[in-house]
Structure 1
């Protein structure tokens, strides 16, 4: 074709314009995906995703980042503050202060009360220490003074040969494992605010010895886990100190969660499949976890175990989230997965619906579509690319990812057990590591009781103050009556 200078210049201008539009679209896609899939969230809006791939809906003269900021700002909802009466428990004690006008106080007979104006404020009484003096009077029989004196038996100490009461022990346990205060900080607070000196070493010894006594309840909770039919399992790393070496080893807390019932933490200095042996021995049902190989290895070592494995959609979603800047297909998969989570949100809002029926009707078609798209795209992306890894991970666990649609009691992901790990993650930032491997086991016992209390809506302070005085009289046979789940049920039946 004979190109004149005019035609050449026209085509060059078109090429320049197309390059500019292409650059604009790439920048726009990066801006939108960065806004949608930044570190703060894995959530995605379908409308915003469509903006990432289309230009007709956005003015080319408007910078992409500015358009996104305006959209996000317009969609942000203002938080409404509840009145104080709705934010505090109704059973809190009330201290009433009546303020009379000066004129009325000066001449009360001249006035008649016609009503009142009421305002409320919330106050707090700081923790206070006090000594409890236990007095046991001695008596002698007047008729026969030669007989031994009569005196009431001394109450058994929770921790033998210590002065720690149930209230003090509960305060230390809650401080470390709920409020994430290291023992050295608790020692400082006790001394500077209350003038009470309790060394960190003393408190550490109390926590260890108390855990030994709570082990009976802990083992009863292991049986609660074994008797369930659906478990969520995860593991989280925690460093521990090797006494004498001056170095820290890598250990793991393994949380087992029976949704709606019990959270059980087990401590191990490794991450091998043998760590599952003690708790899963005798369990029959579904185990939901990530794709870590230890779970499959356990099944190979115990081929007779009546366990069916399920995978976690949150882990699969995270893989595509990590690939969000690499390919539009990853963003497309995130949108599809969001459709699955929207169905789960609707089910939570409507608990009377049959979850299995709804999932079969609504979730299965989405899953079938996702499966077709994954298999079609698998050959397009390099296996070692982020998108290729996400596709491979999801397809390798595909049957296990579908299992939740067959069982109403199952969750779509393992987020409930991951939420149970969060207190340990916050604690690690403050106390950094366990003082020894034995301290790891003690902490697992404390976390088991306290995290189960949190899950069941139990006031942990009330629970500990009730059960700790019972420990010296408790047996392996009666311990099952004091697990948080049983304790709560007995309180509700009173």
Structure 2
């Protein structure tokens, strides 16, 4: 009897161990399946990033996807707006560029009539030798002629005049003609040549070594080190004061945007050349009459950089969800719905094959619905926009947050979709802030678009040669991007500044720079595109 009991105990122990082993194996298989799913998702994501389209534009827009239980706005537009008796307009098969007008395209070009005629010895009839009589002319075509850039040396002389009566009587008698002050002492730098160098580098993204070749082709040996000296010294001596004034004007506004992007800078003290530094951008809001864009080079991404720049500012700040902006005091943060949508775009599978795969589409559709409403409200006054947002967007937002809560319980949290849902859930307060004020924006696209020219240029010049060069680049980018935001020609505005700044004693009185601000009426007249 004792032996039988012992055998049963051993058998139960074996069964228990086998059960535990099976449970552990099932858990391992489930974990491997989860890991495999995450790895496949990551592989699809990276493949799409490498070979797919870079635009975040999606086909999931209003009316293209109907979400269960929602009966608001344009989600049911296909059903409610369909009319059996509607006659479709006939569309021409001939394709033209949308919005293109030849007259508008050439409106600002100087014109010249070029007449082809016969020389005197050709004005003889080859048959009977009689003199030909003029019978009129006809129009054939219009062409665009390119006039290559040219360089010329301008030798500056200054005339002197004297009063001989004052000379005889011992009074000061010399008078000299007024001249423009030089941009740089003992330099051939001219407002037009320096403005063109900066325009090429910071607007057209042409590195200095290529500009060096261009100058050589025009007949002048001008090294890239000389061009670099022009940019660094003139930025520090003249343009820095304008950017400082921009800064003061920016902090006086009530709605700002901010973003940052990496930059590699050589010769930073105490840091290897492989260290990652950052270019920050701070911009005014979209509804201001004084658009400003300011770039700042900093060695790191710490939030103290934003806090120092925004010291004394009180208002709304539009950013992404980067925690560093949390150290900025006395502000209300508006987070970006474009970033929220980007998470759902990144969660999209290669192909929609299951109900689970449509969840990212639904998230995108919610976001696009908000942007669709925003587009319709953009021309309203601040208060009207705020009221209409509460009326039209609150139902969308309430449905969205309910949808987020439901799906957080069923999706794999480590997946791209799970991360998207967790992101919007964690950032809910910041994503809702834009509803408080009609002048707030639903996204931080303004800052992202402002910093994009820098990122495009970075692909050409790769890195900054020194901290001094990076700071100079930040100053010039601030000038040219602020000019573009005010619809000015950046080259004309730079040349205008270089012609006027050397003659202004702004070190004693900064208010003397006010007439040079890009929204000034005279500047608008002289430099407008």
The answer as to whether partners of 1:241 and 1:436 remain within 8 angstroms in 2 is yes
TM-score by length of 1: 0.78
Pair 1:94-2:118 in alignment? no
How far the C-alpha of 1:269 sits from its partner, in A, is 0.8
Superposed CA offset, 1:457-488 (max 9, x none): 10112111211122223302312332223366
The answer as to whether partners of 1:178 and 1:423 remain within 8 angstroms in 2 is yes
Point out the more displaced range, 172-181 or 119-128: 119-128
Q: Name the residue aligned to 1:324.
A: 348
- Evaluate the alpha carbon distance shift between residue 120 and residue 50 of structure 1 in structure 2; reply closer, same or farther with a 3 A threshold: same
How far the C-alpha of 1:415 sits from its partner, in A, is 0.9
Superposed CA offset, 1:329-364 (max 9, x none): 11211112111122223335x667942233222222
Counterparts of 1:412-451 in structure 2, within 5 Å, are: 412-451=442-481
**Structure 1 spans left out of the alignment, 5+ residues:** 1-29, 54-73, 300-304
Pair 1:126-2:148 in alignment? yes
Find the structure with the greater CA-based Rg.
2
Q: Name the residue aligned to 1:315.
A: 339
Counterparts of 1:327-406 in structure 2, within 5 Å, are: 327-348=357-378, 354-406=384-436
Point out the more displaced range, 274-283 or 115-124: 115-124
Higher helix share: 1
- Evaluate the alpha carbon distance shift between residue 149 and residue 196 of structure 1 in structure 2; reply closer, same or farther with a 3 A threshold: same
Superposed CA offset, 1:36-81 (max 9, x none): x954443123599659x9xxxxxxxxxxxxxxxxxxxx9x994436
- Evaluate the alpha carbon distance shift between residue 149 and residue 297 of structure 1 in structure 2; reply closer, same or farther with a 3 A threshold: closer
Q: Name the residue aligned to 1:479.
A: 513
Structure 2 counterpart SS, 1:337: helix
RMSD of aligned alpha carbons: 3.4
Pair 1:187-2:204 in alignment? no
Q: Name the residue aligned to 2:128.
A: none
Whole-angstrom CA distance in 2 between matches of 1:101 and 1:83: 36
How far the C-alpha of 1:312 sits from its partner, in A, is 0.1
The answer as to whether partners of 2:250 and 2:283 remain within 8 angstroms in 1 is yes
How far the C-alpha of 1:370 sits from its partner, in A, is 0.4
How far the C-alpha of 1:398 sits from its partner, in A, is 1.1
How far the C-alpha of 1:152 sits from its partner, in A, is 3.3
**Structure 2 spans left out of the alignment, 5+ residues:** 1-43, 69-90, 125-130, 350-355
Structure 2 counterpart SS, 1:434: coil
How far the C-alpha of 1:174 sits from its partner, in A, is 0.4
- Evaluate the alpha carbon distance shift between residue 150 and residue 358 of structure 1 in structure 2; reply closer, same or farther with a 3 A threshold: closer
Superposed CA offset, 1:134-153 (max 9, x none): 22234565565898865435
TM-score by length of 2: 0.73
Q: Name the residue aligned to 1:8.
A: none
- Evaluate the alpha carbon distance shift between residue 448 and residue 487 of structure 1 in structure 2; reply closer, same or farther with a 3 A threshold: farther
Q: Name the residue aligned to 2:184.
A: 159
Q: Name the residue aligned to 1:250.
A: 276
Superposed CA offset, 1:444-464 (max 9, x none): 110011011112210112111
Q: Name the residue aligned to 1:17.
A: none
The answer as to whether partners of 1:242 and 1:248 remain within 8 angstroms in 2 is no
Counterparts of 1:229-244 in structure 2, within 5 Å, are: 229-242=254-267
Pair 1:215-2:215 in alignment? no
Structure 1 counterpart SS, 2:222: coil
How far the C-alpha of 1:282 sits from its partner, in A, is 1.7
- Evaluate the alpha carbon distance shift between residue 479 and residue 413 of structure 1 in structure 2; reply closer, same or farther with a 3 A threshold: same
The answer as to whether partners of 1:449 and 1:484 remain within 8 angstroms in 2 is no
